[in-house]
Structure 1
């Protein structure tokens, strides 16, 4: 059995104050190089270009030492990019520059251009595959367990050897497995939670059954170093954990049938002649992530202190920089101005770092917030960071008789019916005239035989759930105001229902089939799950066998997922602490929802917050239930509210257009 091990280094570690970085190097990174130098076990070492730059600034000898070990073959360097960013949450332009700038740092400081990449936080999407290939990578490392969970039909033996991973446009690349359960067992042995004998006995049971096994593929910073992030962190025992690692690896090496190799050697030695071509994603899990279910994509998208605000400004900057690229001849790679061009992208990639979006200590958050806002205001002065707050609601809600509750608006291309007693929820949306079937709207109680779906399912509304509190919605009586211009018809209202204070508008266009929905929040919200922009499909208008959704998750091409036969619920809570289980990044600001013939295209407007996209689908007699929604805020263990914490955008705006697609 080929066994391999690699350590992930990240000097940007979210819960480590900058003042402790020198101690971290002394306690974690120097013993790691000592281990590689001794040669008792071949090691892989992965780090971002940013981590190497920071190390070069504070400990240049350490970087020189690593470069020498890599050159001599004592260890293998694995790449990841300039900064540790979550690929499926960032536009393709950011991901491309991240990989390019990372390779530049690797070449400059280590003299290598790695061919094997660790997917950051194991957050994968098929749109990343062509980007890794374009950057010169031939293989990636991804976790087996969560990918397998999304594909229970996979044969167990697939984890015993490398395979091939599929991208969006027919591309593929080598896939080396990281094994989450074995690496957590290794971690427990080092932390003295199980004995070395118990660990080795578990490993013996695998010997002879697996062609390749990753012993450990996670943080180097958790050994002999406790930043105090969790109350459950195991205490240091007084014995060096790096010595424990050394002893464990020597014991593993002595096991019969075990062959320690570098990660790239494991890839080469055990790759089948005909590897399976695997799709790691699925409709229910478009973005697989590492370890337990709490580590899903919402962790870096809509939780933390203000992931939504930070991601919103970063995406606006990315669009702006990408639009400017190529317009000026001085932007050619051989131009003297390229260094300035690179500095802008390098700063943006830095600001996209995942460590600003999780367990960040207060002083680092404050510094990050100021740096992001200053950078944004320098390059985007024409678009303020936050939207102006609406006036407070002065018109009291008035419920109207059921016969008069529906408000109908119509243009030559679009017809929409709104419910005045339900916060202008969309009763029916039609494109192509009033005589066409509605493509989305409200499904009334009794639509389904299943009691689990025994409710009204609206479109265009807002829901907000706080832990231990009743759900708040905007489904209340409102007094709408209608205005008409030569080009549009708009209906708007203000809603004040604690803790929601918002201005809501729906706009139809007379010259094109299009409906816009816009929400402006008037005050920051407390801890909770904020979902809005629901679009519930009307089943009679679609072919259930070709029903699908498509959006971008960090790549240049949209990723399509067929829903028929699946059970998909991205917004399902993981636990009382983690309010959602999955989402899609919607990184280019568009999503499609419908069947192979026709459906809806949702496009975020330029000033909209960077929401995550969530889909729900299930077979339900007599048809199916399908809806798409968007999240601006979720709750998990990284969420931080109150106590003087200042958000990037205190009260976000969310705005999108709905247009039809026909094929």
Structure 2
């Protein structure tokens, strides 16, 4: 049996202030290196480039010691980038910059260029494989526990974890599996939550999923003999010393079990030589696997925190400015600063002091690049520009209402839409003229046989609910929309008053192409303990059938293509503290929905509002319920109410079939 470790070092950890760094190096990082003083014990260490820079500034002897141990083949360095970044939520170019900056620092301080990468926060998309391959990595480490969820509805899966992963470009890369259960079990032992015998009982029963390889530990080094004081429930430090307990356990296993301590580079050749089928590691049900239990999901870095949507939006604005200017794009300093702003640690339990510094950095960068980004907790105004010089009623479009004034029908040469005036201008049917059937609309109460689906499933609505107050907010009210026509579009405007504030909604139908635009504004809302989802798109089964694919960019430069398969709901709460299961990590501002005949684009501007789409797929004997919805905020343990709710706009249009 071969055991390997990958201790993760990150001095940018969200709840740690800079004045704690010296203490962490002394209490956590030096004892880590001391493990290697024991005969036959090897370890691997993963650290961001920024962490190594900081350690070198505080205690360069630690860097010298690490370099010496690497030369002696007692330690292997695992790469991760300049900062710990959630790659599926970050544009390809920024991911590329992050890894190149990290590799440069590894070579500068340690004279080594690692060949194996650790997936930051185990937040994975298939596109990451192409990114790390391009910069020189030939293998990666990823958590197996959550990847298994991707295979739940795969009838071809034989129950064995693959040794190779497949990228969007069809590149096959060896993967070394880590495991949440076993690293958490070591933490429990080190902290004294379980005793020596209990740990050994678990270890002896552990079944390796990969050629007798056991991932002894693959997580944070800062959780031993140190506590950041983030929670009142944090355990006290074990009086015997937690690093001492780990060291004694490793010595015991070395002497009393048939094991060999190995490094990833010693293991990878055997994995790479296996003639096994490479697999895509994500699915429509599980598009963004991350580490540990389900309460940790991709939304914690995108839709909660102190204001994830806002800081992600600001990062996109800076990124777009850089991409439009070759001089800015060539600036290594600006790349480093943007990577720093896109680091995962600013998006979870970040301290108020460090958050304020990050906001200040955004302000400084904006001044530097002479942009018009404003430091305020809202995005650029996304109101539809309307030229009301034309009369409201002309020959270029038609509209009418039914006898009961319930359904308003609008049509142009490219679009036919019927809208529900009693339910907030939700879309009853949306048809593009080139197709025989409407693509989106409402599936009414009674459409499905199962009582679990016994509701009206509208298109275009807004829903919000706070778990603690239990108050449910929607825009399903009787409306009398204002209709304005100009040369480019017909726009309907409604306003709703709710307990959380006003909802202003605009629905525009293009006169020039097959496209509609939905715009949502929340002018006096404040971020609080609630989720907020908008723009529900209900796919109509007569148009789509049961073979639907989605495709999108997710941190790379080629689209990921996933078939909608299985029974799942990304919006389903995990508990009373976590409001959703996952989301689709789209970085290109577009998701294509396709069947064998047609493709429709749903697109938005992340630099105006970095919302994330979620997917629902349910089935009973009467058919399928497929829905796409955008989230502007979710609830979890990182959410801190502060700031305002941004406006959000997206478009639905006919696309070329890929």
- Structures share fold, TM-score greater than 0.5: yes
1:608·1:656 contact (CA, 8 Å) conserved in 2?
A: no
Pair 531,16 (structure 1): closer, same or farther in 2 beyond 3 Å: same
Partner of 1:539: 541
Please report how far the alpha carbon of residue 164 of structure 1 lies from its aligned counterpart in structure 2 after TM superposition.
0.6
Partner of 1:395: none
The 3-state SS of whatever aligns with 2:603 is: strand
Q: Quick one: distance in 1 between partners of 2:126 and 2:445?
A: 39
Partner of 1:87: 87
Q: Quick one: distance in 2 between partners of 1:517 and 1:467?
A: 27
The 3-state SS of whatever aligns with 1:517 is: strand
Residues 1:260 and 2:261 aligned together: yes
Pair 622,488 (structure 1): closer, same or farther in 2 beyond 3 Å: same
Partner of 1:559: 560
Please report how far the alpha carbon of residue 216 of structure 1 lies from its aligned counterpart in structure 2 after TM superposition.
0.5
Residues 1:361 and 2:351 aligned together: yes
Map residues 498-513 of structure 1 onto 2, 5 A cutoff.
498-513=499-514
**Deviations along 1:426-454, whole A, 9 cap, x unmatched?**
11111127x84211011111211121111
Please report how far the alpha carbon of residue 231 of structure 1 lies from its aligned counterpart in structure 2 after TM superposition.
2.8
Pair 245,342 (structure 1): closer, same or farther in 2 beyond 3 Å: same
Among 645, 649, 652, the alignment partner of 1:655 is 649
1:93·1:318 contact (CA, 8 Å) conserved in 2?
A: no
Partner of 2:332: 342
Mean CA deviation greater in 53-62 or 627-636: 53-62
1:534·1:630 contact (CA, 8 Å) conserved in 2?
A: yes
**Deviations along 1:115-138, whole A, 9 cap, x unmatched?**
000000001110111111001000
Mean CA deviation greater in 496-505 or 288-297: 496-505
Partner of 1:44: 44
Q: Quick one: distance in 2 between partners of 1:205 and 1:633?
A: 42
Residues 1:121 and 2:121 aligned together: yes
Mean CA deviation greater in 213-222 or 608-617: 608-617
Q: RMSD over aligned Cα, in angstroms?
A: 2.2
Please report how far the alpha carbon of residue 382 of structure 1 lies from its aligned counterpart in structure 2 after TM superposition.
3.3
Q: Quick one: distance in 1 between partners of 2:493 and 2:529?
A: 27
Pair 141,658 (structure 1): closer, same or farther in 2 beyond 3 Å: same
Map residues 452-471 of structure 1 onto 2, 5 A cutoff.
452-468=452-468, 469-471=470-472
Please report how far the alpha carbon of residue 265 of structure 1 lies from its aligned counterpart in structure 2 after TM superposition.
1.2
Q: Quick one: distance in 2 between partners of 1:520 and 1:244?
A: 55
Mean CA deviation greater in 409-418 or 423-432: 409-418
Pair 128,445 (structure 1): closer, same or farther in 2 beyond 3 Å: same
Partner of 1:289: 290
Please report how far the alpha carbon of residue 529 of structure 1 lies from its aligned counterpart in structure 2 after TM superposition.
0.8
1:390·1:502 contact (CA, 8 Å) conserved in 2?
A: no
Among 354, 364, 370, the alignment partner of 2:360 is 370
Q: Quick one: distance in 2 between partners of 1:249 and 1:256?
A: 10
Please report how far the alpha carbon of residue 595 of structure 1 lies from its aligned counterpart in structure 2 after TM superposition.
1.2
Please report how far the alpha carbon of residue 533 of structure 1 lies from its aligned counterpart in structure 2 after TM superposition.
1.2
Please report how far the alpha carbon of residue 380 of structure 1 lies from its aligned counterpart in structure 2 after TM superposition.
6.0
Q: Quick one: distance in 2 between partners of 1:552 and 1:376?
A: 26
Partner of 1:58: 58
Q: Quick one: distance in 1 between partners of 2:406 and 2:656?
A: 32
Among 511, 525, 528, the alignment partner of 1:526 is 528
**Deviations along 1:222-269, whole A, 9 cap, x unmatched?**
000011122332211322211111101101111332111112212234
**Deviations along 1:174-201, whole A, 9 cap, x unmatched?**
1001121111111111111112222123
Partner of 1:613: 613
Map residues 263-282 of structure 1 onto 2, 5 A cutoff.
263-269=264-270, 271=272, 273-282=274-283
Mean CA deviation greater in 298-307 or 505-514: 505-514
2:313·2:606 contact (CA, 8 Å) conserved in 1?
A: no
Gaps of 5+ in 2: 384-400
The 3-state SS of whatever aligns with 1:608 is: coil
Partner of 1:397: none
The 3-state SS of whatever aligns with 1:218 is: coil
Q: Quick one: distance in 2 between partners of 1:319 and 1:18?
A: 30
Mean CA deviation greater in 591-600 or 134-143: 591-600
The 3-state SS of whatever aligns with 2:445 is: coil
Gaps of 5+ in 1: 332-337, 392-399
Q: Quick one: distance in 2 between partners of 1:208 and 1:236?
A: 31
TM-score, length-normalised on structure 2? 0.92
Q: Quick one: distance in 1 between partners of 2:147 and 2:607?
A: 35
TM-score, length-normalised on structure 1? 0.91
Partner of 2:76: 76
Map residues 403-442 of structure 1 onto 2, 5 A cutoff.
403-432=404-433, 436-442=436-442
